[in-house]
Structure 1
Amino acid sequence: MDRQPGLSVRLKLTLSYAGFVMLAGVVLLAAVGFFYLNLPDNAIYTTGNFMINRSVLVRAFAPFMAIVLACLLVFGLLGGWILAGRMLAPLARITDGTRMVANGSFSHRIRLSGRGDEFRELADAFDAMLARLETHVAEQQRFAANTSHELRTPLAVTQTLLDVAHNDPNRDTGELVERLRAVNTRAIDLTEALLVLSRADQRSFTREHVDLSLIAEEATETLLPLAEKRGITIETSGYLTPTNGSHALLLQVTTNLVHNAIVHNLPEQGTVWVTTSVHPKTVLLIVENTGEELPPQLISTLVEPFRRGTGRIRTDHRGVGLGLAIVKSITQAHDGTLTLAPRAAGGLRVTVQLPVAPSRTGT
């Protein structure tokens, strides 16, 4: 925004300080002058070996008042300039840091030392914002790079298949069509996942009263054939779990979690537990599964886009690597938290915590 040049804050503080000092001096001298003006006209006052009356005192006091005011003005301007400079020094550092961030240096930190005051609180808040911004930018850069790689793969495979068909017109097209269909389906799934992720990040959805336990039942019923195909048992439990949010997005959260729990399970005789519960201020959706033991350093990276666990036992239904990233984004968009923890017996425990909403059972 273009602005007209104006006085600096330091100069404004200097003038304000000098004006206050001058006002205090004028009030003080006015009080002394008022005292002298109210003395009797014919009174004679003795000062050392001199005898003077009121008129002589007033004439002598006038130039003295002018000198004192002039000294106060100089003192106020000089002292105000120095004090304002010292007080605004932290603000100058914050301004320099802002300029560096505007030039793309997100790693810069102000780190004001000393005891807490308004400027240091502002600097600490600015440093915290920079830390979050630096992390967000790094995540977005990795996301853009991974997205480009993931989108390039099906396009490259499609191009290769088309080149093979072009170079060998007599080749059976049935196998080619099936492979192209599989690659195209994967590209569509990836695009739809990116759209869901973008929608959740922008919070462009309508909130409504939903029951998380019913959503969990809907997701498990949808994925029950996949679980039965893999020999996985799904156990659900829970009560009325009211919250506010998008039914479609929360269904996406539950579906992704249950799908991951099925795919990342034991080769046979595996189990998935889906539990919902309500608490005074929050509702919980917990999805657990059996499986291999997972190291903590791996679990901390599972929510990053295009991160896939190493424990998949088959190559079908492998997803596009955005399942938990979408879950995290949707959960945060609903003012909730996502927690991942390893199970002692192997497998993963995922907890989605959302704000509770008043139940509508009485309406």
Structure 2
Amino acid sequence: MTRTRRPGLSVRLKLTLSYAGFLMLAWAGFMLVLAFVLRYLPDANLVDARGGVPAPNRSDLAEAAVRPVVAGTLVLAVVGLVGGWLLAGRVLRPLHAISAAASTAAEGSLTHRIDLPGPDDELRRLADVFDTMLDRLEAAFAEQRRFTANASHELRTPNAVVKAMLDVAKADPEGRDVDRLIDRTLEMNARSTAIVDALLRLARTEQEASGPTERCDLADVARAVVDGIDPPSPVRLDADLR
């Protein structure tokens, strides 16, 4: 059962807002430090005893700082959003490659690989793990195809032998021992059952063998198969070459 999910913000937009938010927090911290410093400035007008220009007091500095603070806040907000959007896109670029490879694999093609370049970071390791998974899936599907082909071949051989024996018996019903034919048919049936059982056991095992292996001489296997086939009945051929 597929659960419906409501749409939300993209990861790129979330990272952009995070970058801009951190920048604005840093700016707000700077403003707090500036306000803390202004608290220790005198609020009264200070005039030089020689009649010079009065020095700016706390109110004058606060009023003069309003416009730069507002302008700086707007500039930092724009820079944070634009820069965060570009930086998030650069960071998430490998994820787009991984998503494209996953979509290609979902369509049935397992030959595409990410092969992500760059330093050995978290995204590079994620891409390598995904490539390894695709390699294992491709090998598993290839093994499944080979298993199907071998199963078809192994099951077709005893059926063909039984059919050949029945055809021979049908062509010469009086020259064939019925009991022997039944015995040979039962033998081929038992062989087919053994093959099916072996294939089922093979299907339940893992694709990659973990136990010890040994070499097998195919000549012995072929000899056993040939010995299991009933020898053909003698045939006499008369030819007139005149």
- Confirm or deny a common fold (TM above 0.5): yes
Distance in 2 (CA, whole Å) between partners of 1:177 and 1:86 is: 75
Question: Which of 28, 31, 42 lines up with 1:29 in the alignment?
Answer: 31
Q: Provide, for residues 327-359 of structure 1, a one-character-per-residue CA deviation record: whole Å limited to 9, x for no partner.
A: xxxxxxxxxxxxxxxxxxxxxxxxxxxxxxxxx
Question: Which of 10, 15, 19 lines up with 2:17 in the alignment?
Answer: 15
Q: Which has the larger radius of gyration?
A: 2
Equivalent pair of 1:13/1:80 in contact (CA under 8 Å): yes
Alignment partner, residue 193 of structure 1: 198
Alignment partner, residue 67 of structure 1: 71
Alignment partner, residue 44 of structure 1: 46
Larger % of strand: which?
1
Q: Which amino acid aligns with 2:44?
A: N
Equivalent pair of 1:44/1:54 in contact (CA under 8 Å): no
Alignment partner, residue 110 of structure 2: 106
Equivalent pair of 1:45/1:53 in contact (CA under 8 Å): no
Give the CA deviation at 1:169: 4.5
Q: Which amino acid aligns with 1:159?
A: K
Kindly indicate whether residue 137 of structure 2 is the aligned counterpart of residue 133 of structure 1.
yes
Question: Which of 309, 312, 331 lines up with 2:217 in the alignment?
Answer: 309
- The RMSD of aligned alpha carbons is 2.8
Q: Provide, for residues 172-209 of structure 1, a one-character-per-residue CA deviation record: whole Å limited to 9, x for no partner.
A: 2122112212211211111121222233339xxxxxxx
Matches within 5 A, 1:78-97: 78-97=82-101
Give the CA deviation at 1:156: 3.0
Distance in 2 (CA, whole Å) between partners of 1:45 and 1:63 is: 26
Equivalent pair of 1:90/1:119 in contact (CA under 8 Å): yes
Equivalent pair of 2:110/2:137 in contact (CA under 8 Å): yes
Larger % of helix: which?
2
Distance in 1 (CA, whole Å) between partners of 2:221 and 2:40 is: 104
Aligned residues: 217
> Cα gap change, 1:19/1:187 in structure 2, threshold over 3 Å: closer, same or farther?
same
Distance in 2 (CA, whole Å) between partners of 1:313 and 1:37 is: 98
Equivalent pair of 1:107/1:134 in contact (CA under 8 Å): yes
Distance in 2 (CA, whole Å) between partners of 1:77 and 1:309 is: 70
Give the CA deviation at 1:315: 3.0
> Cα gap change, 1:73/1:313 in structure 2, threshold over 3 Å: closer, same or farther?
closer
Distance in 1 (CA, whole Å) between partners of 2:137 and 2:5 is: 28
Alignment partner, residue 235 of structure 2: none
Give the CA deviation at 1:38: 3.2
Distance in 2 (CA, whole Å) between partners of 1:114 and 1:145 is: 42
Distance in 1 (CA, whole Å) between partners of 2:167 and 2:186 is: 16
> Cα gap change, 1:169/1:44 in structure 2, threshold over 3 Å: closer, same or farther?
farther
Equivalent pair of 2:47/2:53 in contact (CA under 8 Å): no
Give the CA deviation at 1:159: 3.4
Equivalent pair of 1:37/1:58 in contact (CA under 8 Å): no
Q: Provide, for residues 226-252 of structure 1, a one-character-per-residue CA deviation record: whole Å limited to 9, x for no partner.
A: xxxxxxxxxxxxxxxxxxxxxxxxxxx
Give the CA deviation at 1:107: 1.1
Gaps of 5+ in 2: 227-242
Distance in 1 (CA, whole Å) between partners of 2:191 and 2:23 is: 76
Question: Which of 76, 87, 93 lines up with 2:80 in the alignment?
Answer: 76
Gaps of 5+ in 1: 203-252, 258-286, 288-301, 303-307, 319-363
- Give the percent of matched residue pairs that are identical in Structure 1 and Structure 2: 46
Distance in 1 (CA, whole Å) between partners of 2:225 and 2:164 is: 23
Q: Which amino acid aligns with 2:25?
A: L
> Cα gap change, 1:45/1:149 in structure 2, threshold over 3 Å: closer, same or farther?
farther
> Cα gap change, 1:179/1:9 in structure 2, threshold over 3 Å: closer, same or farther?
same
Which structure is higher in RCO with an 8 Å CA cutoff and minimum separation 6? 2
SS in 2 for 1:194: helix
Alignment partner, residue 128 of structure 2: 124
SS in 2 for 1:39: coil
Question: TM-score under structure 2 normalisation?
Answer: 0.79
Between 1:2-11 and 1:78-87, the stretch displaced more is 2-11
Distance in 2 (CA, whole Å) between partners of 1:145 and 1:109 is: 27
Give the CA deviation at 1:76: 0.5
